[in-house]
C-alpha cells in the first residue's frame, strides 16, 4: 500500500484557474463541491447535488412530433466554501490569491493556502482544510485558519449564506456550446432559518418541484457564524454543512469534524484496497492514475437512484446528464472492483424503465424499451436527435454492462429482480426496431437510420457497432433468460416470455447483418461509410478542431471522418469476432480518419492498441488519456472533469496493458503487455467474490489471491490454477 499520494498545484495545468476548481473538487457521490476561491468566487457556484435538477422547456427552431419537451439541468447551489473576512474597520479582505493546494488521495483531505489583502494591502493568510463525508453523505466539513502576516489586529469572519441575486445570472454559461450548461430562471433560493449559530437555506425548483436544504453551522456551538477573531496568532474556525433532500429543518444533527475525517479516510482505504492501480517507474503517471480513480469514485451515485454525470459532480457541463459513458467507460472499473456500486448504477437504469418504455413508443416501436440518451432522471431530454435518440446502441450498451456484471458476480438475485427485465425489454426493442431483409437466397436482419458512437456520421444503415451490440443483447436475453427460468422459474414466468419470442431473439441474433468492405477487408462502419470521401485533413488548420464547433453538421457528415472509436470499440468489446490480421488493418484504417475530438476516443485507442501489442500507440494514447484533465487536453476541464475518460484510463491499464478480459465461457484472462517505459504496474480487482492482486513487472506476471477460493485463470491463452500466488513468465 502507498504511504502518501497527493495531487499538488505543480502537478496540473493551472493556466486557467477554473480548471483547478474541477480538478480539486470534493464529492461523495451525492454532493459535489468545486474548489472555488472562498473569497472571490460567486456565492452561487460550485455546489452540485447528484440528481438534483430543474426542468426548462426545450425551444426548437423547428419542432416535429414526439420530440422531448423539456430540458433537465443540474442546479447550481449556494457556494459552501464561500467566506467573508473583514478587518477591524469592517473592510473586506477582497483580494485572495491561491498560493498552494493539495489533495491527499489517500485520505480525501483538501488543503489550500490563500493570501488575502484588504484595501490597505495589509495581508493575512488563510489555510483551508476540508473533507467531505463519504459515509454520511449529507456532511461536509471545512476549516479556515487565519495567520497574521502584515495585519495582526482582530478580524471578523462571516460564514453566513449570501443570496446575491446578480450571481444567479453569472452562473449561467453560454448555451451555444452543447457541451456546457444553461441558465434556469425558475429556481428559488431563500433563507428559512437563521440563528447566530446556524443557518438553513432552501433551494426550490418550481418545475421539477424538488427541495434542497443546506445548513451551515460552526463545529462548536459557541462559535457564531459571524465571529470576531483576534489575530495575534493563528486562529482556526471549523464549519460543517448538511446538504440534504430531506427536510433538514427537522434534522439538526451535527457530527464531529473528526468523524467526517475518519469517514473519509476509511472510505478511501477501502477503495484503494479493492482497486488500487499503480505504476512503477513513472511517478507522474502513477499520480494521474490514482487521481482518475479518486475522482471517478467521488462522482458516482451510490444509491441506485442517481448515476454518474458526464462531468460527474465536478462541474455543471453537459447539464449534469448521464450518457452511455457509464456503461461503456466507467462501469467496468466498478464491476471488477466494487461490484455493489456497479449494481447500483444498473439499478438506476432499472428505475428509469418506464420512461424507456414510453420512449420506445414515441419512436414507433411497440414493444420493449429505449433508454434515454441524455437525462438526469431517465426521461429523454436531447434536443438534437441525430446524435442522441438515433444512438439506439445505448440499449445494447446497458445490456452489455448487465452481462458483464452478471459474469463477474453471478448475482442471481440481481438477475431475477432487475437484470433480466432490462435485457428482455431491450431485446424486445431490437426485435421490433429492426427488420428482415430478403436477399437473393437468404434473409438477414438489419437496423436502419441509426447513429453509432462516432457522432461524425449519423443516421446510417447497419452501423457495425450497433448491430454487434444488438446481437449481443439478444443473445444475452436468451442466455440469461434460460438461466433465470432454471433458477427461478416463478419469477421468469412473470415476464410472459414465450418460447417463440426467446427463440426469435436467437434467430434474429444469428441473422444480423454486418457490413464489410471487400476492398479493405475490414468491417465497415456502416452500409455507406466507405463510399464517402475522406475528410480533407491536410487542408484543415489545427484551430478548426474540434470539427463540430467549426463546421456545419452536413459538412462533417458527408466525409469519412471519426470523432471517436466506433467499429474499433466493437472490436475491443468482442475480441472473439475478429482475427489479429483484420484487427490490425481495421485499427490502422480507422485511426487514420479519427480526430479524437471526443474525450471518449483516446482511451479506446490505447486499450485496443495495448491488446494488439501496438505498444507505442498504446502508450502515447495512454499518456493523453491518463493526464487529460491535469493537462487540460480538451481545453474544457473548467466545465468539469471528463468522467468517461477517467474510467477509460483504468481500462487502458487493466483491460489494455494487462489485457484483462472475461472469456465467453466466464474465465478470467490476462494478456499482459508491459510498456517498455515502466518497471511494472500493479492492480487489484474483484472477480467471482475473490480479491486479486495482479503485478506485471519485467518479464513476470504475479497473480495473488488475497481473498476467496482458488480459481482458474488464463494467461496468454494458457490455463493456470490459482491457489494463493502464481508467478508466470511473460514477455515484456
Among 1, 15, 64, 250, contact with its own copies (rule: CB under 8 A): 64
Is 270 labeled as ligand-binding? no
Axis-axis angle for helices 393-409, 339-350 (nearest 10): 140
User: Considering the complex, what minimum distance in angstroms separates the CB of residue 500 from its own copies?
Assistant: 20
d(CA 611, CA 605): 10
Least distance (Å) from its own copies to the CB of residue 559?
Answer: 8
Q: Is 500 one of the binding residues for its own copies (CB under 8 A)? A: no
Q: How many residues bind its own copies (CB under 8 A)?
A: 47
Minimum gap (Å) between residue 71 Cβ and its own copies: 8
Contact flag: residue 558 with its own copies (CB under 8 A): yes
Q: Does 489 bind its own copies (CB under 8 A)?
A: no
- Kindly tell me which of 342 and 458 has the beta carbon lying closer to its own copies: 458
- Binding flag, residue 514, its own copies (CB under 8 A): no
Written as one string, the DSSP assignment of 344-390 is HHHHHHHTTHHHHHHHHHHTT--SS----SSBSSSS---S-GGGTTT
- The HSE-up count of residue 404 (CA atoms within 13 Å, CB side) is 26
Helix, strand, coil tally for the chain in percent (to 5):
35, 25, 40
Q: Report the alpha-carbon distance of residue 544 to residue 542 in Å, rounded.
A: 5
Query: Is 455 one of the catalytic residues?
Result: yes
Residue 555 contacts residue 456 (beta carbons within 8 Å): no
What is the nearest approach in angstroms of its own copies to the Cβ of residue 187?
20
Residue 163 or 435 having the CB closest to its own copies: 435
Smallest separation, CB 547 to its own copies (Å): 9
Q: Considering beta carbons, is residue 58 or 229 the nearer one to its own copies?
A: 58
C-beta of residue 710 within 8 angstroms of C-beta of residue 731? no
278 and 2 in contact (C-beta within 8 Å)? yes
Given the complex with its own copies, which of 470 and 651 has the nearer CB atom? Answer: 470
> Least CB distance from residue 729 to its own copies, whole Å?
49
Contacts of 165 (CB under 8 A, 6+ apart): none
Strands 277-280 and 680-687: antiparallel
Distance in angstroms (rounded) separating the CA atoms of residues 303 and 347: 9
Query: Shortest distance, CB of residue 59 to its own copies, whole angstroms?
Result: 5
Using CB under 8 A, which of 191, 192, 437, 726 touches its own copies? 437
- Is the Cβ of residue 388 or residue 682 nearer to its own copies in the bound state? 388
Region 406-435 residues binding its own copies, contact defined as CB under 8 A = 435
For its own copies, the closer of residues 138 and 382 by Cβ is: 382
**Least distance (Å) between residue 76 CB and its own copies:** 20
Quote the radius of gyration of the chain (alpha carbons, Å): 26
Taking residues 168 to 207 in sequence order and writing x for each that binds its own copies by CB under 8 A, - otherwise, the string is -------xx-x-----------------------------
User: Using CB under 8 A, which of 17, 256, 364, 510 touches its own copies?
Assistant: 364
Of 197 and 384, which has the nearer Cβ to its own copies?
384
63's CB contacts (< 8 A; 6+ apart) are none
Q: Is 563 annotated as a binding residue?
A: yes
Query: According to CB under 8 A, which one of 225, 458, 476, 705 is a site residue for its own copies?
Result: 458
Task: Answer yes or no whether residue 449 interacts with its own copies by CB under 8 A.
Answer: yes
Q: Are 647 and 329 in contact (CB under 8 A)?
A: yes
Contact stretch for its own copies (CB under 8 A) within 108-116, 278-286, 442-450, 487-495: 442-450
Per DSSP, the residues of 166-191 read HHHHHTPPPSSSTTS----S-EEEEE
Which among 276, 455, 501, 586 is annotated as catalytic?
455
- Sole window of 54-62, 124-132, 467-475, 477-485 interacting with its own copies (rule: CB under 8 A): 54-62
Binding mask 563-602 for its own copies (x = CB under 8 A): ----------------------------------------
Query: Under rule CB under 8 A, which residues in 372-391 are in contact with its own copies?
Result: 382-386, 389-390
Q: How far is the CB of 436 from its own copies (least distance, A)?
A: 8
- If the CB atoms of residues 4 and 62 are measured against its own copies, the closer one turns out to be 62
Q: Report the b/e string of 699-723 with b at 16+ CB within 10 A.
A: eebbbbbeeeeebebbbeeeeeebe
Per-residue binding letters, 517-556, with its own copies (x by CB under 8 A): ----------xx--xxx--------------xxxxxxxx-
DSSP 78: P
Neighbours of 247 (CB within 10 A): 11
Q: Interacting stretch for its own copies, rule CB under 8 A, among 19-27, 61-69, 197-205, 291-299? A: 61-69
Using the minimum distance from each CB to its own copies, give the nearer residue, 60 or 537: 60
CA distance 556 to 569: 21
Nearest Cα neighbor of 559 from 575, 571, 572, 548 is 548
Which residue among 100, 207, 461, 620 contacts its own copies (CB under 8 A)? 461
CB 351 within 8 A of CB 305: yes
Residue whose C-alpha cell is 429556481: 187
In three-state secondary structure terms, 554 is helix
User: Which residue, 147 or 459, has its beta carbon nearer to its own copies?
Assistant: 459
Q: What is the smallest separation between the CB atom of 548 and its own copies, expressed in angstroms?
A: 7
Q: Specify the pairing of strand 70-74 against strand 139-148.
A: unpaired
**Short-list 623, 596, 646, CA closest to 292:** 646
- How far, in Å, CA of 619 to CA of 279, rounded? 13
Pairwise CA distance, residues 717 & 68, whole Å: 48
E strands present in 67-210: 70-74, 84-86, 95-104, 110-117, 123-132, 139-148, 154-158, 187-194, 198-205
Q: Is the peptide bond before 535 cis (omega within 30 degrees of 0)?
A: no
* 166 in a labelled binding site: no
**CA neighbours closer than 13 Å in the CB half-sphere of residue 484:** 27
The maximal CA–CA distance of the chain, rounded, in angstroms, is: 93
Q: Which of residues 73-132 bind its own copies (CB under 8 A)?
A: none
Which of 149, 191, 459, 714 binds its own copies (CB under 8 A)? It is 459
DSSP collapsed to 3 states, 367-379: CCCCCCCCECCCC
Contacts with 532 (C-beta within 8 Å, 6 or more apart), sequence order: 558, 559, 560
Sole binder of its own copies in the list 9, 18, 40, 67 (CB under 8 A): 67
Minimal distance in Å, beta carbon 387 to its own copies?
9
| Shortest CB 382 distance to its own copies, Å | 7
- Is 273 known to sit in a ligand binding site? no
Is the CB of 117 or the CB of 429 nearer to its own copies?
Answer: 429
Nearer residue to its own copies within complex by CB, 385 or 619: 385
> For its own copies, what does the binding mask look like between residues 256 and 295, x meaning CB under 8 A?
----------------------------------------
Give which of 85, 79, 88 is closest to 114, Cα–Cα: 85
Select the residue interacting with its own copies from 8, 17, 60, 354 (CB under 8 A). Answer: 60
Q: Which of 59, 498, 538, 718 binds its own copies (CB under 8 A)?
A: 59
Residues near its own copies (CB under 8 A) are 58-67, 175-176, 178, 362-364, 382-386, 389-390, 435-437, 446, 448-449, 458-459, 461, 527-528, 531-533, 548-555, 557-558
Residues making up the binding site for substrate: 324-325, 563-564
- Which residue numbers are catalytic? 455
Give the annotated binding-site residues: 324-325, 563-564
Amino acid at each position: 500500500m502507498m504511504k502518501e499520494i497527493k495531487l499538488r498545484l505543480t502537478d496540473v495545468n493551472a493556466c486557467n484557474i477554473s480548471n483547478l476548481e474541477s480538478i480539486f473538487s470534493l464529492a461523495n457521490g451525492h454532493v459535489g463541491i468545486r474548489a472555488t476561491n472562498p473569497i472571490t468566487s460567486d456565492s452561487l457556484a460550485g455546489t452540485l447535488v447528484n440528481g438534483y435538477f430543474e426542468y426548462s422547456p426545450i425551444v426548437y427552431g423547428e419542432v416535429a412530433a414526439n420530440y422531448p419537451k423539456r430540458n433537465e439541468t443540474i442546479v447550481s447551489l449556494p457556494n459552501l466554501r464561500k467566506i467573508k473576512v473583514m478587518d477591524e474597520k469592517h473592510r473586506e479582505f477582497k483580494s485572495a490569491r491561491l498560493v498552494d493546494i493539495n489533495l491527499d488521495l489517500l485520505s480525501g483531505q483538501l488543503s489550500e493556502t490563500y493570501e488575502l489583502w484588504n484595501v490597505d494591502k495589509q495581508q493575512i493568510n488563510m489555510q483551508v482544510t476540508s473533507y467531505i463525508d463519504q459515509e454520511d453523505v449529507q456532511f461536509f466539513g471545512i476549516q479556515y485558519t487565519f495567520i497574521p502576516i502584515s495585519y495582526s489586529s482582530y478580524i471578523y469572519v462571516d460564514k453566513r449564506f449570501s443570496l446575491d441575486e446578480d450571481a444567479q445570472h453569472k452562473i449561467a454559461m453560454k448555451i451555444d456550446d452543447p457541451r456546457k450548461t444553461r441558465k434556469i430562471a425558475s429556481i428559488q433560493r431563500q433563507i428559512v432559518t437563521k440563528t447566530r449559530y446556524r443557518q438553513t437555506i432552501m433551494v426550490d425548483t418550481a418545475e421539477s418541484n424538488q427541495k434542497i436544504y443546506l445548513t451551515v453551522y460552526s463545529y462548536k456551538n459557541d462559535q457564531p457564524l459571524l465571529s470576531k477573531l483576534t489575530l495575534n496568532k493563528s486562529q482556526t474556525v471549523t464549519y460543517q454543512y448538511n446538504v440534504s433532500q430531506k427536510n433538514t429543518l427537522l434534522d439538526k444533527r451535527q457530527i464531529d469534524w473528526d468523524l467526517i475525517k475518519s469517514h473519509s479516510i476509511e472510505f478511501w482505504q477501502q477503495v484503494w484496497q479493492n482497486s488500487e492501480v499503480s505504476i512503477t517507474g513513472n511517478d507522474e503517471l502513477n499520480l494521474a492514475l490514482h487521481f482518475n480513480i479518486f475522482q471517478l469514485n467521488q462522482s458516482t451515485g451510490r444509491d441506485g437512484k442517481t448515476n454518474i454525470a458526464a462531468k460527474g459532480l465536478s462541474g455543471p457541463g453537459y447539464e449534469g446528464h448521464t450518457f452511455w459513458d457509464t456503461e461503456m467507460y466507467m462501469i467496468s472499473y466498478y464491476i471488477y472492483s466494487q461490484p455493489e456500486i456497479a449494481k447500483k448504477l444498473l439499478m438506476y437504469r432499472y428505475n428509469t424503465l418506464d420512461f424507456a418504455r414510453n420512449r420506445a413508443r414515441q419512436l414507433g416501436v411497440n414493444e420493449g424499451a429505449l433508454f434515454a440518451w441524455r437525462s438526469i432522471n431517465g426521461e429523454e431530454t436531447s434536443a438534437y436527435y441525430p446524435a442522441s435518440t438515433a444512438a439506439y446502441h445505448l440499449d445494447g450498451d446497458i445490456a452489455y454492462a448487465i452481462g458483464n456484471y452478471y459474469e463477474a458476480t453471478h448475482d442471481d438475485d440481481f438477475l431475477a429482480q432487475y437484470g433480466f427485465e432490462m435485457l428482455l425489454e431491450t431485446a424486445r426493442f431490437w426485435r421490433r426496431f429492426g427488420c428482415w431483409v430478403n436477399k437473393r437466397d437468404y434473409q438477414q436482419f438489419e437496423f436502419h437510420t441509426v447513429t453509432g458512437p462516432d457522432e461524425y456520421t449519423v443516421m446510417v444503415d447497419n452501423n457495425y457497432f450497433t448491430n454487434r451490440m444488438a446481437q449481443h443483447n439478444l443473445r444475452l436475453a436468451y442466455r440469461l433468460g434460460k438461466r433465470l427460468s432454471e433458477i427461478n422459474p416463478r419469477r421468469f414466468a412473470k415476464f410472459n416470455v414465450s418460447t417463440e419470442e426467446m427463440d426469435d431473439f436467437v434467430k434474429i441474433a444469428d441473422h444480423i447483418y454486418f457490413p464489410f468492405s471487400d476492398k479493405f477487408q475490414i468491417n465497415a462502419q456502416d452500409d455507406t461509410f466507405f463510399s464517402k470521401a475522406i475528410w480533407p485533413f491536410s487542408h484543415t488548420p489545427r484551430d478548426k478542431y474540434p470539427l463540430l464547433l467549426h463546421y456545419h453538421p452536413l459538412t462533417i457528415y458527408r466525409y469519412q471522418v471519426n470523432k471517436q472509436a466506433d467499429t474499433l470499440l466493437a472490436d475491443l468489446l468482442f475480441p472473439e469476432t475478429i482475427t489479429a490480421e483484420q484487427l490490425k488493418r481495421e485499427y490502422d484504417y480507422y485511426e487514420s480518419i479519427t480526430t479524437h475530438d471526443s474525450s471518449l476516443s483516446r482511451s479506446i485507442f490505447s486499450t485496443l492498441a495495448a491488446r494488439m501489442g501496438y505498444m507505442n500507440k498504446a502508450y502515447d494514447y495512454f499518456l493523453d488519456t491518463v493526464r487529460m484533465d491535469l493537462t487540460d487536453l480538451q481545453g474544457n476541464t473548467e466545465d468539469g472533469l471528463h468522467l468517461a475518460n477517467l474510467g477509460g484510463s483504468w481500462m487502458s491499464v487493466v483491460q489494455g496493458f494487462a489485457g484483462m478480459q472475461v472469456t465467453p465461457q466466464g474465465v478470467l484472462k490476462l494478456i499482459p503487455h508491459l510498456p517498455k517505459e515502466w518497471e511494472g504496474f500493479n492492480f487489484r480487482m474483484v472477480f467471482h467474490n475473490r480479491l486479486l492482486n495482479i503485478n506485471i513487472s519485467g518479464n513476470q506476471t504475479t497473480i495473488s489471491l488475497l481473498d476467496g477460493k482458488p480459481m482458474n485463470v488464463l494467461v496468454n491463452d494458457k490455463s493456470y490454477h490459482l491457489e494463493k500466488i502464481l508467478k508466470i513468465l511473460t514477455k515484456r
